[in-house]
Structure 1
C-alpha cells in the first residue's frame, strides 16, 4: 500500500478443510476471506445525504486490494467458484456507510470481472465493535440457485473496526460445501405453500 492509501490494513484468512463428519474429503474444502479496514470518511460531517463522491474514490481501491489478496489465497482467480461481500461499520458510523461501499459497481462489478462471475454477489452488513465476528455469505459466481455452493466464511479482527472505521470484506470458496446433497433450488418439485401450511396448522 502507498502512503496515500485509505486502507489501514488488509487481513486475509484461508481455511482448508480435509475431513467432514467421519469422512476424508477427496477434494479439500478451501475458503478465504480478505478484509480492508478504512477510516469512515463521513464521520464528523453530520448527516451526509450524498455518499457517492467518496464511494467512487474508495470502493475501487478497496476492491483492487481485496481481490489481489483473496485470489492469491486460493491460488488464482480461476479457482474461485463462490463469492460474497460484507461490511462491518464501527459504532460511531451508520450501517448505510458500509452498505454504500459494498452495494456499488465500483466494488462489486470490479470484483465480479476479476473472477469472471455473473451472479450478483451475496452480501451482509452490520454495525459492531472491534473484534466482532463478521460472517460473509456466499453463493455460486455464475449460478446463484445452485444450493451446493450456499456457504459462508467468517472473520474477526481484534482491533477493527474501531468506532471511526469501516471493515469491508470479500469471501470466496474454491468449491461447494463438503458432501453437499440437498439438491438444486431450480429443480425442486413444485409445492403448494398454502397446502403445506394447512397441514402444519391442522
Structure 2
C-alpha cells in the first residue's frame, strides 16, 4: 500500500527576542506536515491497525527525518499531530500517528527515547492544530513543555489527513520554572 501525498509543507520559526529580551541562542521550531489522502474508507471499519501498520513507516519517512533536517541542528523537544478532514474520523488520524512504525522513524531521526506527545482532531479546510512538544529524552523536563501551531490554508480537504512532526532546538524562550516536582518537595 502506498500513501497518496498532495503536498508537503515545511515551516521553520526562529525567535531571537522574547518579552523584549535577547535570547542566549535563537529558539527554532521546525514543523513538517504531509497532506495525504485518507487511507480509510468513508464507512465505518473495525480494523484501522492493519492499514496503519502497512503505511506507518512510509508516512514517518515523509515527515520525521525532513523535520529534523529543517530544524538544522540537534532536536531537544518533539511532538506529532494528525488533523483529519471532515469526511473522516479522529480515530483515523490517531491510528496513523499512534503507531510505532510511524513514531520510531521520527524518534530515531531526532535521537530521542521518549514517547512523542500528540494531538489529533477533525477540522475543516484551513483549520489549525496545536502540537505539544516535550523533551526528547525526559518528558519531565518542564523547560521543554511547549505548544506550536500548524496550519495549511487549503488542507485538509474532507477526505484528507494532515500528519505533522514538530521539533525544537531548545526549551521555551526564557524558561525559568522550577524542576518537576519542586513545588511538592519537602522544605529543607
Taking structure 1 as the reference length, what is the TM-score of the superposition? Answer: 0.87
Does the 8 Å contact 2:30/2:70 carry over to 1? Answer: yes
**57, 60, 65: which one aligns with 1:60:** 57
SS in 2 for 1:96: helix
Does the 8 Å contact 2:3/2:39 carry over to 1? Answer: no
Alignment of 1:88-107 (within 5 A): 88-107=83-102
1:42 positional shift: 1.3
Number of aligned residue pairs? 185
Alignment of 1:122-137 (within 5 A): 122-137=117-132
Counterpart check, 1:49 vs 2:55: no
Rg bigger for which structure? 1
Counterpart check, 1:72 vs 2:72: no
Does the 8 Å contact 1:7/1:62 carry over to 2? Answer: no
Q: Give deviations 1:118-159, integer Å, cap 9, x for gaps.
A: 111111110010111111110000010010000122111011
**Which position in structure 2 is the counterpart of 1:10?**
8
Greater than 6 Å deviation, 4+ residue runs: none
When residues 166 and 5 of structure 1 are mapped into structure 2, their CA distance, relative to the original with a 3 A threshold, is closer
Q: Give deviations 1:94-123, integer Å, cap 9, x for gaps.
A: 000000001010111221122111111111
My pick for the range that moved more, 66-75 or 166-175, is 66-75
1:5 positional shift: 4.7
My pick for the range that moved more, 115-124 or 141-150, is 115-124
- Report the RMSD for the aligned CA atoms in angstroms: 1.4
**Which position in structure 2 is the counterpart of 1:108?**
103
Does the 8 Å contact 1:87/1:167 carry over to 2? Answer: yes
**Which position in structure 2 is the counterpart of 1:179?**
174
Structure 1 unaligned blocks of 5 or more: 192-202
Taking structure 2 as the reference length, what is the TM-score of the superposition? Answer: 0.93
SS in 2 for 1:185: coil
Structure 2 unaligned blocks of 5 or more: none
